């Protein structure tokens, strides 16, 4: 059965399956230099290449990380970076059996004609960049665009987000990279969980419409959705069971079982919430690998524990491993706290 002509088809399917393997998820460490600067500022460090290098080295070299993490998303700087000892960061990941991935979007800018919404840049030159990233060892890619509930979302913003994701996904596959499709529905807002559910259904319907129109091979993609939760400022909070029920309903209604992996973002949830919600979603069998692609929910305590001091590296790595293991168990539905 030929699903898509294209020299990378078999490899894409294999890569996606490797990342979506039982008990494993993704460590997102692809903060842009600006965002990484904010994280470093929170522990009183300057945003220098040396500090970013030290922090990223700590993350990728945590001993045994590959027992829980199957993929790591890097920012371009890190893909080409070595440790202070001159070892390529990509090589450390491969030794840990962690597939290197790369953020390929060029970030958000205002979307003219919308309700103060944004769109994601990066399609110009994307094919040649993807080809170069593949040469450098990347095997999957990420494109993050956002949808804001308080600002609408307008039909225009949703369509633009979906179309951009679909063009990107097609180009990434053409160049051997498994595309992570990430339309982040931001947590901000006072809306209840039903409103998030309604918006998420609309967004994913459009995303899959355009993915199909662009001949994207569903067996060779990964998704990075937001969980369906109440807005961050909504007074009525939801239990992990409620989040799981809403989110699984969304997946069942909108996501074909051909898609191998659903790797949720944490989006500002606490470390524990993100683990509990993932664990609740894995209490019953479902057609996909339902897992994590967390940045903040893996890194927050690790970063604080490190504080920029070499003598804290081991303690910080231990904290990272604790979170990674907890989420690995949650992927299996076996997290008990
Ligand atoms: P958070 O898990 O911190 O939301 O980040 C995930 C991510 O990579 C967003 O694109």
Helix (H, G, I), strand (E, B) or coil at 177: coil
pLDDT of residue 155: 98
Which residue stretches of the chain have pLDDT < 70?
A: 1-6
pLDDT of residue 337: 85
End-to-end CA distance of the chain: 44
Tell me which residue of 193, 189, 186, 203 sits closest to 148, measured CA to CA.
Answer: 186
Distance (angstroms) between ligand 1 centre and the Cα of 5 equals 32
pLDDT of residue 141: 98
- Considering only CA atoms, which residue is closest to atom 4 of ligand 1? 267
E strand or H helix that includes residue 141 = strand 140-147
Distance (angstroms) between ligand 1 centre and the Cα of 222 equals 15
The binding-site residues of ligand 1, defined as CB within 6 angstroms of any ligand atom, are 28, 144, 182, 265-267, 294-297
- Bridge partners for 118 per DSSP: 110
Cβ pair 72, 91 in contact under 8 A: no
ipTM value of the model? 0.90
- Considering only CA atoms, which residue is closest to atom 5 of ligand 1? 295
- Considering only CA atoms, which residue is closest to atom 10 of ligand 1? 144
Tell me which residue of 255, 302, 301 sits closest to 281, measured CA to CA.
Answer: 255
User: Catalytic: 334?
Assistant: no
pLDDT of residue 4: 56
Structure tokens at 153: 């979302």
pLDDT of residue 3: 54
From the CA of 265, give the closest atom in ligand 1. 2
Encode pLDDT of 138-174 as tens digits: 999 999 999 999 999 999 999 999 999 999 999 999 9
The dihedrals phi and psi of 57, each to the nearest 5 degrees, come to -65, -45
Of the candidates 31, 76, 160, 182, the residue annotated as catalytic is: 182
- Considering only CA atoms, which residue is closest to atom 8 of ligand 1? 28
From the CA of 274, give the closest atom in ligand 1. 2
User: Catalytic: 182?
Assistant: yes
Distance (angstroms) between ligand 1 centre and the Cα of 4 equals 30
pLDDT of residue 7: 87
């Amino acid at each position: 059965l030929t699903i898509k002509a294209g020299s990378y088809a078999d490899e894409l399917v294999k890569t996606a399956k490797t990342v979506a393997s039982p008990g494993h998820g993704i460590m997102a460490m692809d903060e842009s230099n600006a965002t990484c600067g904010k994280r470093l500022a929170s522990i009183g460090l300057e945003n220098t290449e040396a500090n970013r290098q030290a922090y990223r080295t700590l993350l990728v070299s945590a001993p045994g990380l590959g027992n829980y993490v199957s993929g790591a998303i890097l920012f371009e700087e890190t893909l080409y970076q070595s440790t202070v000892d001159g070892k390529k960061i990509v090589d450390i990941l491969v030794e840990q059996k962690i597939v290197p991935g790369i953020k390929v979007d060029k970030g958000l800018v205002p979307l003219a004609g919308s309700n103060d919404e944004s769109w994601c840049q990066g399609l110009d030159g994307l094919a040649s960049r993807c080809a170069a990233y593949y040469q450098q060892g990347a095997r999957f890619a990420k494109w993050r665009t956002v949808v804001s509930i308080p600002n609408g979302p307008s039909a225009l913003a949703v369509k633009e987000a979906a179309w951009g994701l679909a063009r990107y996904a097609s180009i990434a596959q053409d160049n051997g990279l498994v595309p992570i499709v990430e339309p982040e529905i931001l947590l901000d807002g006072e809306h209840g969980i039903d409103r998030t559910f309604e918006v998420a259904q609309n967004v994913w319907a459009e995303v899959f419409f355009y993915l199909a129109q662009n001949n994207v091979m569903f067996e060779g993609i990964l998704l990075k959705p937001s969980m369906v939760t109440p807005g961050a400022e909504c007074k009525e909070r939801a239990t992990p069971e409620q989040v799981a029920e809403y989110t699984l309903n969304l997946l069942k209604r909108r996501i074909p079982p051909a898609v191998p992996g659903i790797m949720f973002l944490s989006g500002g949830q606490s470390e524990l919430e993100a683990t509990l919600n993932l664990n609740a979603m894995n209490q019953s069998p479902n057609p996909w690998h339902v897992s994590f692609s967390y940045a903040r929910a893996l890194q927050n305590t690790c970063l604080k524990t490190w504080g920029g001091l070499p003598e804290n590296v081991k303690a910080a790595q231990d904290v990272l491993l604790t979170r990674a293991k907890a989420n690995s168990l949650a992927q299996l539905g076996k997290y008990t706290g």
